[in-house]
């Protein structure tokens, strides 16, 4: 397994992976739109590849103040083998090299299994209220 940056040839495989892992995401998180928007800003999309197959992905962001992790996904048949850990650590290292000193992420409050995964990597729950607004 290797971790590398997204390339255009990966588009359909990444879309399929994210649709599989996040089937109930709202329309504004549609993978094709997310990829286009992300690539217009930077190329911080990392893929885990094994035998020429995309088996995991992680999108990172950095605004000069904080880093963020988005859409971390590992195909179900490859979970619990360290791929998610490697993807997160890789993204965090790249963010660190950009000058980032703190990385944030958001998960659904009901996703306790994923919360435990991130806690095992050193993330801590913070007393915050997450808010958002669509710009129309």
Q: Which tokens belong to 96?
A: 């660190």
The CATH fold assigned to 2-120 is Aminopeptidase (3.40.630)
Residue 45 parent element (H or E): strand 45-50
Kindly tell me the number of DSSP H helices and DSSP E strands found in the chain: 4, 5
Beta strands 67-74 and 2-5 are unpaired
For the stretch 14-62, pLDDT in tens is 999 999 999 999 999 999 999 999 999 999 999 999 999 999 999 999 9
pLDDT at 110: 87
Q: How high does pLDDT run on average in the chain?
A: 95
**pTM of the shown model:** 0.93
Domain boundaries, the chain: 2-120
Q: Which tokens belong to 91?
A: 């993204």
């Amino acid at each position: 397994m290797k971790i590398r940056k997204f390339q255009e040839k990966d588009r359909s495989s990444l879309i399929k992976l994210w649709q599989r892992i996040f089937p109930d995401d709202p329309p504004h998180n549609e993978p094709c739109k997310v990829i286009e928007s992300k690539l217009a800003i930077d190329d911080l999309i990392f893929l885990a590849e094994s035998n020429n197959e995309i088996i995991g992905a992680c999108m990172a962001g950095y605004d000069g103040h904080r880093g963020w992790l988005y859409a971390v996904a590992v195909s179900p048949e490859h979970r619990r083998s360290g791929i998610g850990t490697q993807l997160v650590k890789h993204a965090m290292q790249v963010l660190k090299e950009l000058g980032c000193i703190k990385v944030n992420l958001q998960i659904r409050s009901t996703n306790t299994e994923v919360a435990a995964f991130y806690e095992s990597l050193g993330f801590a729950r913070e007393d915050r209220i997450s808010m958002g607004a669509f710009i129309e």
